[in-house]
A and B are shown apart, each in its own frame.
Chain A
C-alpha cells in the first residue's frame, strides 16, 4: 500500500509524442482512473509505471522508493513489487489456478505449502474458493479475470495496475465486475491505477479521474467535479452527453444570444471574463421540453427515438440543432416545443 508520484513523465517514440509532461500523485489506498479516447496516452502511461516502457524524461516514485529517474536509474518491472491485470487477463494456460496465483510467491522463494495456503486465501477473496486445482480453460471469462486479480493481489503490492480489464466482458458482467473490483479495493485497501476509455466505468469506480487527450492531462478531479465542472470543451464532450450551443453576449452582459439565426435569448448573468463569443454547454438531460411558447427557446421536434427509459429528441432551434433526453415521451416529430435550460447546470467556455 503506497502512494505513487509521477513527475513530468514524457514519452516520445521516434517523432511521435505519446505522453507529454504527465505529473500526478495517487494517494495511498485511492482508486484513480486514467480516462481518455484511444491513442490519448493512458496505456503508455500505465506501462511506464509498470516498467514495460522506459520514459524519455521524468520521475516515478512508488511508495518510498524511486523506480525511475531519467538518466539516473530504471528499475525493471520484476523488481517493482506491483500487481497488474492485463486486458486479456494473461492467465497461464499450462498452470492450474493455485500455480497461477502463487507464482509471484514462488519467485520470492516461498515454500510450496506456504504459498499454496496464501493462494487459497486470495482465491477465496475473489470468490473462487476451492477451485484451485482447476485449469484456466475450464473457467469462464469472468472467472479468469478474478484469477488475474488474485494473482495481482497476492504479494500485497504497492499498487495495482489495471489495463482495461473489463473490455472483454459482456455488458451485464462488466457492470457486476465494476462493483466487485470496487469492493475488493475497499477490503484490501490497495492503491489502484485503472485505465479505461469508458467514462461510465470511470465515473462508477474512481475516487479520482485523470482525463487525458493527445498525451496531455486535461483535468484531474473527483467524478462529480469532472462531470459538473469540465475545464474545457474536450472534457465536457467526453464525459456525459452534451450540447454545444454557440452564443454571443448581450451588451449589458445580462443575456446570452443564441446564434440560431433567430436571436433567441437566455437570461444569464455573465462575468467579465467572458468575451464576445462563448460556447454554452448543457447536458442532454438538463434541458426540459414543454408546450410551445412557455419557455425561453422555441424549437421543433425533428426526430424522436424511444429508448425505453428515456426518449431521445433531436430539435431544430433556428439554424442549429439541440438534443434532449427526457423521460417525457409525449412529443413526436413535427411538434413545436419550448426548451427550458437548467441555468445551474450551464457551463460556458
Chain B
C-alpha cells in the first residue's frame, strides 16, 4: 500500500515536470496572430532553428497586454517576445522601458518606415483592414466598393466588426477613420444605427462566411486563407482606403532568453521568415519577398493616412469615444 502511494506520487511528479519543459532552449512569444497561422510559423522557425522551442501564448491583443502587465506586476516575467497588431502600443511599451533595443542584422533589408530606429520593435507583417462580404448573398451590383456601403439600411443587423479594445488592428482603424476627412467619427455614429455585431476580427470573418453577416470589417490575410479553403467569402480594397497595420514584434527587456529572442526577431524579418508569412497570407514588409498570390502591389492600393503619434497620445480617449458610440 505504501509503495503504491510512493510510486503514484513519483509518476505524478514526473508527468508534472514534463510540463515545465526543462528540456530544450526556449523562447516564449505572446501574440495575437491567429492560432493556426502562428502554429505554421512555429513549425517553420523550429525547423530552421532545431535547438530552440518556441512557446506560444495566443489571445486577443488586450488579453496579451493584460498578461504582460500582470507578469510585470508580480515580478515574474515569462514572456520573451511580444507580437500584437498595434504599432502605438509599442511606443508606450518603449516609453515604459519594457522593450529591449536590438539592431538586427536583417534590418538593412527592411524599409526604414517599418521599424523603430533603435531596434525597439520591427514591423513583421502588413495586415490590412478591408471590407469583406459573403459571396453567396452579395453578388453583382451589391458588391461593395466603399466603406459607406456598410451603412446601407438593407444590411441592418447584418454587418460586423471588432472593437479597438479587443483588436489592435481595429484600434488603428478607428483612429485612422477618426482623422479621415471623408469619414470621421460621424461614420461610426451612422454605423451604430446599423446595429453591427461586435466580435473578434476572425469572428466577424467567420460570421460573414457562414452567412450570419453579409459584410464587415475584416483582415485581408484571414480572408485569403478562408477563400482558399472554399469558404464563400471575399473582400475589396475600399476607395477611401484600407488601413494598413505593420503588426510589430519586440523583445521584452526582462527576458531570460535574450539570445533566442534575438534569433526569433532575426527570423521574422529575414527572407525565410517573411516567405513563410507570405505563405500564410500576410503581406511581407520586405520588398524582396513576393506577396501572396492575387495581392495587388501595395503601391497601387489606396491606404489611409495614419497619425501614429496622435493615436499613441490619445489611446484611452479613442477607445472610450468608440465605446460610447457603439457599445453603450
Instruction: Answer yes or no: A and B touching, Cβ < 8 Å.
Output: no
